[in-house]
Amino acid sequence: MRHIRLFWLLTTFSLKKTLMNPMSIVILLVGKFLRFGMFFLFVWYLMTYTKVLSGFTPNQVLLFYLTFMIVDTFAQFMFREVSRFKRLLVSGEFDSILLKPHHPFLRILVGGMDIVDLVLLCLYVGLAVYFISQLTSVSFVHILLYMALLMNAFVIVASIHIAILSLGILMTEVENSIMIYRDVTRLGMFPIDMYQKLLQFILTFVLPVGIMITVPVKGLLNVLDPSWYWISLFCALALLLSSNLFWRFSLKYYQSWGG
Amino acid sequence: MKKYSALFHSFISQYFVYRSHIILWRLRQILSFLLMHYFWSAVYLRRQELFGYTQSEMITYILLIFVFSNSIFSSKTFEIAEEIIRGDIMNKLLKPISYFSYLVTRELADKTVTLAFTFVEILILSLLLKPEFSPPVNTTAVVLSLLQLVIGLGISFFISVSLSFLAFWSSNIWAPRFMYLIVASVLAGNYFPLDMLPRLLYIGIILTPFPYLMYLPARMYITGIPEEYWYHLIISMFWLVATYLIAQKMWRKGMKEYSFFGK
């Protein structure tokens, strides 16, 4: 309960900080809407000509794209504070966070939720709901499975961000790690079936973009082998466990950098 | 000239101080290229031509965009804003060198390093992916395409410099730059050739400065000189002059109003 109260307090602070520059929020939102809108329209326009991409119909391809946007935006909404971690490290401020009587993740992982991304997240979820309603062969069970697999993807996203924080402690390098993560995730914008076999394997088992984005949509479309549900769950749990172990390991090597 | 040559070498040396940063930065560029390469390969899986482009022409297009975007969007001009906000620009202005020449030297060093990496990456990617490239239509197309790219580089430089000059009046300069990067990357043809779009939309976009940054040079290389080339040249020259005048006006006005304490 105490942690929830603290989380709420940090979120309120973050919101107030964001609202200090209303003009920037407007520009940021318009820019993000524009980028999404242009690319979305382009994919839709292209698919009306090509009719099929790696065996998927236009609406299905758009669902892959929307699922990618949901996962990507969720990461930015929840874990925006990770990108500010380097500043805490090099200034020595991280020392004071470690000394506080709460888990440091409360501050450095989820302590700076980005309200701008929440607005965009609602838009993407709304569009995904619309496109799912347009599919004829989807049952309620498949929708539930899609949501469960999305939750699974969020666990993977959280694990990756914990690993980035741990790497930040060891290398004081955070921004590039986040951008690399985001660029690799972009490879999941479309079904990973369109890549070569080796790249498909890497994007499934080494960098689990396929499990984060392609698997949930395939589950929804009922074209997924049931074993993938267990593989996805196992991957998420293994990543969560290993990233927490990596965090503990990196903390042992932490030494104050500034202050 | 000697001092600018020394500056040029100094800027290039700065890049190799943070080697891991370079590796991660280049890895990101390669990933972007791979995404577009596989996407278009999948689109062309069961067809020879789409929107007037064959598969080899499209692969050549995304390769050219990879090179051009690395030269257009790789820029150190955003640092001007930081220099203005922190007051560091004072030190630069007091030095016995032209500040504008200093900026151009920094840009040239930046683009030299970026292009050197880009060409090595293209060589490696070509060996790995073995894509089929489309040769240029003729030498004139290549020459005019390069000329158009130089105009594009000028336009992007002056826009980027103007965005940094906003720091004379506001410390909140990241939002307009973010907006510029988003708009420019879409309307410059970073993801797809613009002539794939519906005619009316295409005509509207062609009046903006963005297609002249990457799309037109790439298209001219692949499909040759378009019939309406003079029209494009006039619009691009207009934007080059306009963005230059805007940058110059902002600089003069900014310099008159600028003050800083503590340096």
Residue pLDDT, tens place only, B38-59 = 888 888 887 888 888 999 999 9
Contact A94, A166 (CB under 8 A): no
How far away is chain B from the Cα of A193, in angstroms, using its nearest Cα?
9
Q: Is the pLDDT of residue A7 over 70?
A: yes
Q: What is the dihedral angle through the alpha carbons of A104, A108, A111, A115, rounded to the nearest 10 degrees?
A: -160
Residue B248 and residue A148: Cα distance in Å, rounded?
56
What percent of chain A has a predicted confidence (pLDDT) above 70? 99
Q: Is the pLDDT of residue B263 over 60?
A: no
Query: What phi and psi, each to the nearest 5 degrees, are found at residue B262?
Result: 95, 5
* Tens-digit pLDDT profile for residues A184-243: 898 889 899 888 888 889 889 888 999 999 999 999 999 999 999 999 999 999 999 999
* Tens-digit pLDDT profile for residues B53-89: 999 999 999 999 999 998 888 888 888 999 898 888 8
Model-level ipTM above the cut of 0.90: no
Confidence of residue B154 (pLDDT cuts 50, 70, 90): very high
B50, A34: Cβ pair inside 8 Å? no
Q: Is B18 an 8 Å CB contact of chain A?
A: no
- Residue with tokens 């006039």, as numbered in its chain: B234
Of the candidates A27, A190, A196, which has its C-beta nearest B175's C-beta? Answer: A27
Chains A and B: how many Cβ contacts under 8 Å?
A: 87
- Which sequence spans correspond to the domains of chain B? 2-257
Instruction: Write out chain B residues lying below 8 Å of A194, CB-based.
Output: 38-39, 41-42
Instruction: Write out chain B residues lying below 8 Å of A186, CB-based.
Output: 31-32, 35
B42, A190: Cβ pair inside 8 Å? yes
How far away is chain B from the Cα of A203, in angstroms, using its nearest Cα?
12
B24, A177: Cβ pair inside 8 Å? yes
Of the candidates B39, B183, B192, which has its C-beta nearest A190's C-beta? Answer: B39
Confidence of residue A116 (pLDDT cuts 50, 70, 90): confident
Instruction: Write out chain A residues lying below 8 Å of B24, CB-based.
Output: 173, 176-177, 179-180
Amino acid at the residue A40: F
Of the candidates B32, B42, B182, which has its C-beta nearest A54's C-beta? Answer: B42
Cα–Cα nearest to B77, from B238, B235, B251? B251
Pick the more confident residue, B163 or B47: B163
Q: Is the pLDDT of residue B145 over 60?
A: yes
Query: What phi and psi, each to the nearest 5 degrees, are found at residue A135?
Result: -75, 140
Contacts of B3 (CB under 8 A, 6+ apart): B97
Q: Is B174 an 8 Å CB contact of chain A?
A: yes
Q: For residue B184, what are its two tokens?
A: 């420019």
Q: How far is CA B256 from CA B95, B97, B161, B252, B259, in A?
A: 19, 20, 17, 6, 9
- Which sequence spans correspond to the domains of chain A? 2-252
State the number of CA atoms in the 13 A half-sphere of A244 facing the CB: 10
H or E, element range at B50: strand B49-50
Q: Is the pLDDT of residue A259 over 60?
A: no
Q: Determine the pLDDT at residue A257.
A: 64
Q: Determine the pLDDT at residue B262.
A: 66
Residue B41 and residue B253: Cα distance in Å, rounded?
50
Q: Determine the pLDDT at residue A82.
A: 94
Q: Is the pLDDT of residue B155 over 90?
A: yes
Q: Determine the pLDDT at residue B142.
A: 92
Of the candidates B24, B175, B183, which has its C-beta nearest A34's C-beta? Answer: B183
